[in-house]
Amino acid sequence: MQRNTPFDFTLQNAQGESCVAQAWAKVQPGLDASERFALKQQIKEALRERDAVLIAHYYVDGDLQDLALETGGVVADSLEMARFGRNHTAKTLIVAGVRFMGETAKILSPEKTVLMPDLDATCSLDLGCPADEFSAFCDAYPDRTVVVYANTSAAVKARADWMVTSSCALEIVQHLKDKGEKILWAPDRHLGRYIQEQTGADMVLWQGDCIVHNEFKSEELAMLRRAHPNARVLVHPESPAGVAAQADLVGSTSALLRAVVEGDATTYIVATDKGLFHRMRQLAPGKQVIEAPTAGESATCKSCAQCPWMAMNGLQGVLRCLHQGAGEIHVTAQIQKQAHQCIDRMLDFTQQRPGALRPGLVPHLGAA
Ligand code: SF4
């Protein structure tokens, strides 16, 4: 049976003021091998019958990642998930990830049915940036180009000029800076600060953060590096500055994956959601991947390098989507139209400049 466990987390608003919020971590039921096999077989059949395709994020359960690949779907970061869903011919998209990913898929493909295993699967960045407060923030800086991270609601995207993901944020902001534009950035403050440092762009930042990446600890990371002096340190840019400063590579989810697969080191310390380790270990079986330290120990809570919302995605939820049409994503026509523009700008930019997405372009910061 699924277990619902409450957990507290802190949200930051535009001014960096904190409030404590509570959510429910829905711990997926433990299934034995034969139950998982049976569920996977049913899902495969239902995907065919329903003309559906499974689009999974790197952070969801390994079974779902494998199933997506076995059935002609994809395991990807949020940019690639959006692209894949838009270009695929299936009538139904099953998006295993968090809510903004389902909304993005629906915005790009309004004619398709978009279903998610659990509509409660959200994101602290999305929760911490409500559309009305964000709109007031934009009103206060009318001369700035509004750039939002993908991890925002459709309503926030509708107010933005550009949407970016961590795969292309740096290059898009650099492009805007080169055109002489000043930036309003939301919601992740760490990624915003990192981009500001790298590009020198004039940016005002919303002060949100990801409850998973924000928990990586710099002192403990320094100790771990001393214990593994030959390890490369790979860090997602949503992590705090003191962690990013120790990285050999700061990069998007895809960039971190590629660094392990193509890198010449045998050991890597990785600061991102541990769901990505499933794919890293599949694609680079001879290499050692070590989790960067957090303050927590238990699973499916904050401070354990496992996103509680990503963890809400399970095999049973996918089957419910397929059998009952549960978890359908709806976006109003007006929001769809407005939000479409800022997503399209990013997709066009990255299509015209594929080099912008090459993970190898993410700068090396050197060890602190
Ligand atoms: S890992 Fe962080 S950024 Fe990603 S969905 Fe979870 S809370 Fe949001």
pLDDT for position 362: 33
Sign of CA dihedral 349, 351, 353, 358: positive
Mean pLDDT of 172-183: 97
CATH number at residue 40: 3.40.50.10800
Residue 138 lies in a domain: yes
* Cβ-defined contacts of 279-283 (< 8 Å, 24+): 279/58, 279/65, 279/75, 280/256, 283/257
> CA-to-CA distance for 320 and 243, rounded, in angstroms?
40
CA 59 / ligand 1 centre spacing (Å) = 9
**Helix pair 62-70, 315-324: axis angle to 10 deg:** 50
Q: What global pTM score does this model have?
A: 0.90
Confidence of residue 275 (pLDDT cuts 50, 70, 90): very high
Does residue 9 register a pLDDT over 80?
A: no
Q: From edge to edge, which strands make up the β-sheet containing 74-76?
A: 74-76, 52-57, 92-96, 113-115
> CA-to-CA distance for 164 and 329, rounded, in angstroms?
21
Q: Where are the alpha helices (DSSP H) in the chain?
A: 33-50, 62-70, 78-87, 99-108, 124-127, 131-139, 154-158, 169-178, 189-199, 218-227, 241-244, 253-262, 276-283, 315-324, 333-352
Mutate to test the pocket of ligand 1, among 101, 120, 125, 236 (most ligand atoms within 8 A of CB): 125
Mean pLDDT of 272-294: 95
CA 278 / ligand 1 centre spacing (Å) = 17
Question: Same structural domain for residues 242 and 158?
Answer: no
Buried-state track 256-278, b at ≥16 Cβ within 10 A, e below 16: bbbbbeebeeeebbbbbbbbbbb
Question: Same structural domain for residues 40 and 51?
Answer: yes
Question: Same structural domain for residues 99 and 57?
Answer: yes
Query: Which atom of ligand 1 sits closest to the CA of residue 238?
Result: 3
Q: What is the torsion angle, in degrees rounded to the nearest 10, for the CA atoms of residue 205, residue 206, residue 207 and residue 213?
A: -90
pLDDT for position 14: 78
pLDDT for position 24: 66
Backbone angles phi, psi at 96, to 5 degrees: -95, 100
Ligand 1 pocket residue status of 309, Cβ below 6 Å = yes
> CA-to-CA distance for 61 and 96, rounded, in angstroms?
9
CA-proximal residue: ligand 1, atom 8 (nearest): 123
> CA-to-CA distance for 326 and 319, rounded, in angstroms?
9
Ligand 1 pocket residue status of 125, Cβ below 6 Å = yes
Ligand 1 pocket residue status of 124, Cβ below 6 Å = yes
Residue 299 lies in a domain: yes
Query: Which atom of ligand 1 sits closest to the CA of residue 309?
Result: 6
Ligand 1 pocket residue status of 151, Cβ below 6 Å = yes
Question: Same structural domain for residues 174 and 314?
Answer: no
Ligand 1 pocket residue status of 9, Cβ below 6 Å = no
Is 79 or 129 the better-scoring residue by pLDDT?
A: 129
Ligand 1 pocket residue status of 123, Cβ below 6 Å = yes
Question: Same structural domain for residues 40 and 103?
Answer: yes
Ligand 1 pocket residue status of 23, Cβ below 6 Å = no
Mutate to test the pocket of ligand 1, among 210, 238, 272, 276 (most ligand atoms within 8 A of CB): 210
Mutate to test the pocket of ligand 1, among 58, 151, 167, 206 (most ligand atoms within 8 A of CB): 151
Structure tokens that stand for 317 in this block: 């939820």
Residue 23 lies in a domain: no
CA 325 / ligand 1 centre spacing (Å) = 25
Confidence of residue 15 (pLDDT cuts 50, 70, 90): confident
Residues of the chain above pLDDT 90, percent: 79
Instruction: Encode pLDDT of 341-362 as tens digits.
Output: 999 999 999 988 765 544 433 3
> CA-to-CA distance for 319 and 63, rounded, in angstroms?
13
pLDDT for position 361: 30
Question: Same structural domain for residues 219 and 297?
Answer: yes
CA 55 / ligand 1 centre spacing (Å) = 17
Residues of the chain above pLDDT 70, percent: 90
Domain membership of residue 162 as a residue range: 126-209+332-359
Secondary-structure breakdown of the chain: helix, strand, coil percentages, each rounded to the nearest 5: 45, 20, 35
Ligand 1 pocket residue status of 271, Cβ below 6 Å = no
CA-proximal residue: ligand 1, atom 2 (nearest): 210
Ligand 1 pocket residue status of 310, Cβ below 6 Å = yes
Residue 366 lies in a domain: no
Query: Which atom of ligand 1 sits closest to the CA of residue 124?
Result: 7
Ligand 1 pocket residue status of 311, Cβ below 6 Å = no
Residue 5 lies in a domain: no
Q: Are strands 18-27 and 3-12 parallel, antiparallel or unpaired?
A: antiparallel
Does residue 128 register a pLDDT over 50?
A: yes
Residue 1 lies in a domain: no
> CA-to-CA distance for 65 and 48, rounded, in angstroms?
17
Q: How far does the chain reach from its first CA to its final CA, in angstroms?
A: 46
Please count the structural domains in the chain: 3
Mean pLDDT of 329-351: 94
Residue 26 lies in a domain: no
Question: Same structural domain for residues 187 and 318?
Answer: no
Question: Same structural domain for residues 198 and 235?
Answer: no
pLDDT for position 366: 28
Instruction: Encode pLDDT of 20-62 as tens digits.
Output: 776 666 767 788 999 999 999 999 999 999 999 999 999 999 9
Say if residues 54 and 318 touch (Cβ distance below 8 Å).
yes
Ligand 1 pocket residue status of 173, Cβ below 6 Å = no
